[in-house]
Amino acid sequence: MYQLVGRWLRAARWLVPVLGLCGWVGSAALPSSGARGVAAPCAAAASTIHPPPRPALLCKVRTGPVETVPGMPPVTDPGNLYSAAASDRLAPAVAGAPARVYVPNRRSNSVYVIDPASLAVVDRFPVGFSPQHVVPSWDLKTLWVANNGSRRRFGSLTPIDPQTGRPGLAIPVDDPYNLYFTPDGHSAIVVAERRKRLDFRDPQTMALQQSIAAPGCSGINHADFSIDGRYAIFTCEFRGGGLVKVDLVNHRVLGYLRLAKRGMPQDIRISPDGTTFYVADMHADGVYLIDGDSFTQADFIPTGIGTHGLYPSRDATSLYVANRGSHSTRGAPHGRGSIAVIDFATRKVEKTWPVPSGGSPDMGNVSVDGRQLWLSGRFDNVVYDIDTTTGAVKIIPVGAEPHGLTVWPQPGRYSLGHTGNMR
């Protein structure tokens, strides 16, 4: 009898781990609760891991059409959600709009207008206090200047008619640091950074519809949206940094994520296949890779000092990363700024372009043909026109502390906001 019991105990020593492994394999093969038509996350491909990700058995492979939220335009290519924003995809709504670069100058309370052909400033006009970003509307018919007021009682949104390039009457709005639009176009989302709040507003009149408090997100800041439009991830800039995930169907906070170390997250962009969110962190000097569905950190890619802005190339093969050259929100001019180019396929930095004589590249976007990357020089009071083939930089002086400039027109069927998050 004792010999029989001993044999069973020895067998259990190897049988229990095997059964546990099988259970783990089975659970890993199932899609997460937020996924639709994809398998479990694959291991990250970047060469530098921080911290090391969990091992994964399967890579995400989309197996069918994307089931989007009602009212959202369909995803025409599940493998490239930026396919509608290719160089030859200008929408009828932007027909006739002159090519211009609209530059908000935070400390001179103005917008400068640049002709990209001549590189000349062709117009300038005053706007509200502390303009942060120029944001295309969902229907592509208006450019909104987000004047966040910088601790004043009210900020404002100034509309610009992109057909004429002229501003209209400002609409008083509380603390509009940034501006986005829901994928179905039903609401504008005013990012009230200082209030730790998202205000859903009518996209035309900006009348308040509903607010979502995000008390765990200090300095709620930039965002991007899941491929199906069901959630968004916003960056939390201050008090060590992090992310907040927001349910756009039920309008509620789903959770918060602290990154590997205390940092200062800035811009965020989703990968072309819709599986991964790239998060620029100004203190970590690189880009975190976040699995959106499971809301976990997968990887980290070092890019340069003061990583700040993220912009997909027009063919969606590369991600341009603006490194501001400083860890401070009030850095000195002629810093160690640069632009890194990440290959989406390998998740590696393929090249880095320094700014001649130093600089502070910040926010911007890509030209229609994809040949120029336009970025504000935040601490140098200039705008950079960067050749995306050679990395050569041309410099145009503008107002005091330029920030989230917009290149217009942009290809795409609709805008999700910020400085030109097009789909």
DSSP string, 40-70: SPPPP--S--SSPPPP-S------S---PPT
203 has a pLDDT exceeding 60: yes
Average pLDDT over residues 4-18: 41
- Token code pair at residue 311: 């912009």
Mean pLDDT of the chain: 88
55 or 395, greater pLDDT: 395
Q: For position 19, what pLDDT does the model report?
A: 37
pTM here? 0.86
Tokens 């229609």, residue?
Answer: 368
User: Among 124, 241, 251, 117, which residue's Cα sits nearest to residue 197?
Assistant: 251
Per-residue pLDDT at 35:
35
Predicted pLDDT of residue 336: 95
User: Any idea what DSSP says for residue 162?
Assistant: T
With 70 as the cut, is the pLDDT of residue 185 above it?
yes
Sketch out the chain's domains with CATH numbers: 83-408 (2.130.10.10)
**Model confidence at 30: pLDDT above 50:** no
213-227 tens-digit pLDDT: 999 999 999 999 999
pLDDT the model gives residue 60: 54
State pLDDT tens for residues 125-182. 999 999 999 999 999 999 999 999 877 778 999 999 999 999 999 999 999 999 999 9
Residue 49, pLDDT > 90, answer no
Output the pLDDT for position 63.
58
User: What's the rounded mean pLDDT across residues 382-393?
Assistant: 97
Q: What is the largest CA-CA distance in the chain?
A: 96
294, 32 in Cβ contact below 8 A? yes
CB atoms within 10 A of CB 205: 9
Whether residue 75 has pLDDT greater than 60: yes
